[in-house]
Amino acid sequence: MARQYVEPFDVGDPPGRGCDDPETVRRAQRDSAAFTTLFDCFWELILRYCYGRLRSWPDAEDAAQAAFFQAVTHLPEFELRPAGGGFRSWLLRVAHNESASFLRLRIRRPALPFPEIEPADPTAGDDMEAIAINDWLAGLCATLSPARRDVIEFRLAGATTKEIAQILGKSEKTVNKLAERAIADLVKRRQEQEGEAA
């Protein structure tokens, strides 16, 4: 048991890599029309990150939208941040804050007059197994402590140690430790679940 994922397999390409060169960012700072390049590059990254946090596509779309609007309006100040990292880190941080707002909103206003259950998954009929695994992973991640969960969410979105450290204002060592403990937590949970199932 518990060996079904041992074989290495293609994990897919990381979204939003290789297009945040400083020149594109500078151009977008001068000319907002050039922002579309950055949007095209990073939209998927940000949407997936928000989805990872919110686990609802409509909310994730809203949060990503809010993040990009913040980004386009605040881009000119971007380089002023003394502790800032690359544009990608900055954008992820913006998305982090925006999705935090959505999480807060859920607590604050749990009741649109319509129930807060997940809408039917639009991928229904595709790969049911993948969806089941995804739900299972989401459930696992939900059990992590907030700090560990933050790190895992950034990790899953494709951020590197250095970027996460910049985003969260923590040292790389701390970030690595949090990720290690998060993975240990997840592995343990998974084993517990398998133990229950066995």
Residues 164-183 that bind another protein (CB under 8 A): 168, 172-173, 175-177, 179-180, 183
CA distance to 17, 73, 87, 198, per residue, from 53 (Å): 20, 23, 20, 30
CA distance to 28, 57, 62, 130, 195, per residue, from 169 (Å): 26, 28, 26, 34, 38
39 vs 42: CA distance, rounded Å: 5
Interaction of residue 86 with another protein, rule CB under 8 A:
no
Range 114-143, binding another protein (CB under 8 A) = 114-116, 119-120, 122-124, 126, 130, 133-134, 137
Interaction of residue 144 with another protein, rule CB under 8 A:
no
198 vs 196: CA distance, rounded Å: 6
Range 15-44, binding another protein (CB under 8 A) = 15, 17-18, 29-32, 36, 39, 43-44
Interaction of residue 104 with another protein, rule CB under 8 A:
yes
Instruction: Name the nearest CA neighbour of 156 among 59, 8, 49.
Output: 49
35 vs 75: CA distance, rounded Å: 9
Phi and psi at 16, nearest 5°, equal 70, 35
Nearer Cβ to another protein (146/198): 146
List the one residue from 19, 70, 86, 189 that touches another protein (CB under 8 A). 70
Interaction of residue 198 with another protein, rule CB under 8 A:
no
Interaction of residue 85 with another protein, rule CB under 8 A:
no
Binding-site size, another protein (CB under 8 A): 96
List the one residue from 21, 22, 69, 128 that touches another protein (CB under 8 A). 69
Nearer Cβ to another protein (119/196): 119
Instruction: Name the nearest CA neighbour of 70 among 117, 103, 38, 105.
Output: 38
Interaction of residue 57 with another protein, rule CB under 8 A:
yes
